[in-house]
């Protein structure tokens, strides 16, 4: 999980560097998924495994992939104007939005404690964006759209996990964006004018593909609760990368908002872990349902 977080930091840092260097965002996004798709075919040995292509609902796979594509596209657009620390801080509000939407969409209703954590996380987002004070801009809109796209991608992943294989979901989440973004390549694509830019462009898919593969490996080794705190270390790496590569340092408001969001997210993880334990030991359904409302 630590390795995945580090690779995702490289992904965002490289993407920001490339779009600031003049490459079109849409072309950068397409290259990220094109290389990712090649890696998926190799890592999962597509020539010998039928699991990669089998799916019970192709339209649902495509819709889920579209949400992932939207998250990436909006994130890269946000990186044109925002610091790495700002985009990742807003992105980490996603678990709280998932908690809020899991009730109406999945029937997993949150109790008042988790709703309080969601509210606290929202305050953290307000500290970072500070609407009405002249700091809220188009980059923040893109970052929020990226986060919301990821929320629906995550909810669909949870819903489809019971019927679709992990291999097929990884494959179609790479294939569909490549197909959907293919029309932009002739229009916005351009051959990099240096080997450095070309290598950085190709590395995007490596960071994304291997990062997702490491997450799969991590969940085979440990529980979701045990792994939950580690992604938040990406905040530290994002701040470091932003300073080393772009000379950016987040202001006090961004750091305060990030701290509130991280604390809220960790509390929700802790609370859901306690509820799972309570549900397992509850003597009857009524007691179990009561525990979930607390």
Report, as ranges of residue numbers, the positions in the chain whose pLDDT lies below 50. 285-294
- The confidence score (pLDDT) of residue 38 equals 92
pLDDT at 224: 66
Distance (Å, whole) CA 270 – CA 130: 28
Helix (H, G, I), strand (E, B) or coil at 284: coil
Per-residue buried b or exposed e for 72-85, using 16+ beta carbons within 10 Å of the residue's own CB: bbbbbbbbeebbbb
d(CA 29, CA 16): 11
State residue 106's pLDDT score: 67
Task: Report which DSSP code applies to 184.
Answer: G
Domain tally for the chain? 1
CA 145 to chain centre: 12
Dmax (CA) for the chain in angstroms is 67
pLDDT at residue 283 in the model: 53
- What is the structure's pLDDT at 274? 76
Q: By residue range, what is the domain housing residue 192?
A: 2-292
| pLDDT score for 294 | 42
Do residues 259 and 218 touch, judged by C-beta distance below 8 A?
A: no
């Amino acid at each position: 999980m630590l390795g995945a977080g580090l690779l995702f930091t490289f992904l965002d840092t490289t993407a920001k560097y490339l779009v600031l260097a003049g490459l079109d965002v849409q072309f950068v996004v397409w290259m990220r998924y094109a290389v990712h798709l090649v890696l998926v075919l190799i890592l999962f040995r597509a020539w010998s495994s039928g699991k990669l292509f089998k799916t019970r609902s192709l339209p649902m796979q495509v819709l889920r992939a579209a949400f992932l594509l939207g998250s990436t596209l909006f994130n890269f657009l946000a990186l044109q104007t925002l610091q790495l620390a700002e985009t990742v801080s807003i992105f980490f509000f996603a678990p709280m939005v998932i908690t809020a939407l899991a009730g109406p969409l999945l029937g997993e209703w949150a109790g008042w404690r988790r709703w309080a954590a969601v509210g606290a996380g929202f305050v953290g987002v307000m500290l970072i964006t500070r609407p009405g004070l002249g700091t809220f801009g188009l980059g923040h809109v893109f970052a929020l759209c990226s986060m919301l796209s990821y929320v629906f991608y995550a909810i669909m992943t949870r819903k489809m996990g019971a019927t679709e294989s992990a291999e097929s979901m990884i494959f179609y989440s790479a294939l569909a964006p490549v197909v959907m973004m293919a029309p932009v390549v002739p229009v916005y694509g351009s051959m990099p004018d240096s080997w450095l830019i070309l290598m950085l462009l190709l590395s995007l898919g490596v960071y994304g593909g291997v990062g997702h593969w490491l997450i799969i490996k991590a969940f085979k080794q440990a529980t979701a609760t045990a792994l939950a705190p580690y992604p938040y270390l990406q905040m530290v790496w994002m701040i470091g990368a932003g300073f080393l590569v772009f000379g950016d340092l987040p202001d006090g408001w961004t750091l305060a908002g990030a701290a509130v969001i991280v604390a809220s997210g960790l509390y929700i993880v802790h609370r859901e872990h306690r509820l799972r334990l309570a549900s397992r030991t509850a003597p009857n359904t009524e007691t179990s349902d009561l525990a979930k409302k607390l």
